Amino acid sequence: GGNHLFYLSVPPAVYAVVAEGLGAAELAHSAGWVRLAVEKPHGHDLASAHELARRLLHVVQEDQVYRVDHYLGKETVQNILMFRFANAVFEPVWNSTYIDHVQITVAEQLGVGERAGYFDQAGLLRDMFQNHMLQLLALVAMEAPALFDATCLHDEKARVLDAVRLRPEDVVRGQYAAGTVGGVHLKGYRDEQGIAAESRSETYVAARLAIDTPRWRGVPFYLRSGKRLRCRKSEIAVAFKPVARSIFQPLTPRDLTPNLLVFNIQPDEGVALMIQAKKPGPKLCMCDLNLDVSYREAFHTDPPEAYERLLLDCMCGDRSLFLREDIIEKSWSLLAPIL
Ligand code: BG6
């Protein structure tokens, strides 16, 4: 008669089987609440995602399902909306009049490691783009939700995903090869244990997207993610346009570095704003000045694990940081032509 949270961190092939088993054992109903937290991947294409949802929703209601994308539990990712909507200075310039382009990068140093079986079936587009990358994009590009609650947030995310335009010719894919980095020899993807010698699964994807809304018309969004890259670094860089005119003759607008706002998602969590400043001294010399804030230094604490927050929210019944089914399906639809 109490509350039950079932957390399905099991092979994806048995998500629905487990849920149906819970249903058959009459564990899907209780006098208290029953919730189902489900790990990613949420399907491997639109049809399988739809089928998974159909089977889960045969056992429980949509508002009982907590579909995980652990990026949404990261402090720095949650902070994007505070940054945009709790400050007066950014939202007025958050549009195509002032922003030149946006770059979203999730670079990993690790290779495929011990997850060959899963990864080689999936590839990076499914593993990182369908979920984490598109979620980061949605947070940067969405309109302000009417309220900071799950329904309003999900509605706005769904709207912006509807406006994303992604053409296969604007996507490149790659696969890491063997090489020597800093004197250390690293295996190529096809040499990794469990990967077929002729595997064509991608370990790197870069894409240029457009968002067809009045706010973003003409602003390219560059997304890239890969395994076994030079360093581990996830960041969102918002590149502003140059100033319209320069009063600092003979410097022209082109001589002044445009502003750059960077959300450092990990590992050095923080936010940085690059501005132009006068170099100290008698001459008029401009220089770049990076206003760089580290969350660790500012808050005197390490950011908590994403899962601490996510599992707590499951228990509290807050679905804001989870994925609604329509958002998952929209993400798969976007990638379908490339897959
Ligand atoms: C997972 C992917 O969702 O995210 C992995 O399946 C990836 O392939 C991982 O390595 C990255 O997560 P994080 O939190 O280490 O950036």
Q: Which atom of ligand 1 is nearest to the CA of 127?
A: 6
Nearest Cα neighbor of 139 from 305, 233, 265 is: 265
The span from the CA of 241 to the CA of 117, in Å, is 44
Q: Which atom of ligand 1 is nearest to the CA of 108?
A: 10
* Atom 10 (ligand 1) nearest CA: 108
CA distances for 193 relative to 41, 119, 187, 205, angstroms:
22, 12, 10, 22
Cα gap 261→256, rounded to integer Å: 15
- DSSP annotation of 277 reads E
Q: Please choose from 128, 236, 266, 328 the residue to mutate so as to test ligand 1's pocket, defined by most ligand atoms within 8 A of CB.
A: 128
Q: What is the pLDDT of residue 113?
A: 81
pLDDT in the model for residue 115: 87
Question: How far, in Å, from the CA of 257 to the mean position of ligand 1?
Answer: 34
**What is the pTM for the complete model shown?**
0.97
Nearest to 223 by CA among 115, 327, 88, 338: 338
Helix, strand or coil, per DSSP, at residue 247: coil
Q: Where are the beta strands (DSSP E) in 162-203?
A: 164-165, 171-174, 179-181, 184-186
Query: How confident is the model over 10-55, as pLDDT tens digits?
Result: 999 999 999 999 999 999 999 999 999 999 999 999 999 999 999 9
The atom of ligand 1 lying closest to the CA of 106 is 16
**Catalytic member of 29, 58, 101, 132:** 132
> For residue 67, how far is its CA from the centre of ligand 1 (angstroms)?
16
In angstroms, what is the span from residue 179 Cα to ligand 1's centroid? 23
Predicted local distance difference test score (pLDDT) of residue 1: 73
Taking only the tens of pLDDT, the chain with its 339 residues reads 799 999 999 999 999 999 999 999 999 999 999 999 999 999 999 999 999 999 999 999 999 999 999 999 999 999 999 999 999 999 999 999 999 999 999 999 999 888 898 999 999 999 999 999 999 999 999 999 999 999 999 999 999 999 999 999 999 999 999 988 888 898 999 999 999 999 999 999 999 999 999 999 999 999 999 999 999 999 999 999 999 999 999 899 999 999 999 999 999 999 999 999 999 999 888 999 999 999 999 999 988 899 999 999 999 999 999 999 999 999 999 999 999
Ligand 1 site-directed mutation target among 78, 132, 235, most atoms within 8 Å of CB: 132
Nearest CA to ligand 1 atom 5: 127
pLDDT of 182 reads 83
**Beta-strand runs (E) in the chain:** 4-8, 34-38, 65-67, 99-107, 164-165, 171-174, 179-181, 184-186, 204-211, 221-226, 233-240, 260-266, 270-278, 286-294
Cβ atoms of 224 and 237 closer than 8 Å: no
CB 141 within 8 A of CB 307: no
* Per-residue model confidence as pLDDT tens digits over 59-106: 999 999 999 999 999 999 999 999 999 999 999 999 999 999 999 999
The three-point CA angle 173-43-193 to 5° equals 55
Reduced to 3 states, what is the DSSP secondary structure of residue 127?
A: helix
Protein residue with its CA nearest to atom 9 in ligand 1: 128
Atom of ligand 1 nearest to the CA of 119: 8
List of residues 6+ apart from 232 with CB closer than 8 A: 107, 108, 109, 110, 266, 267
Q: How far is the CA of 92 from the centre of ligand 1 (A)?
A: 33
Identify whether 154 is a catalytic site residue: no
Protein residue with its CA nearest to atom 6 in ligand 1: 127
Residues with CB under 6 A from ligand 1: 40, 108, 127
Nearest to 68 by CA among 272, 246, 319, 243: 319
| Closest-lying ligand 1 atom to the alpha carbon of residue 71 | 14
What distance in angstroms lies between residue 178's CA and the mean position of ligand 1's atoms?
A: 22
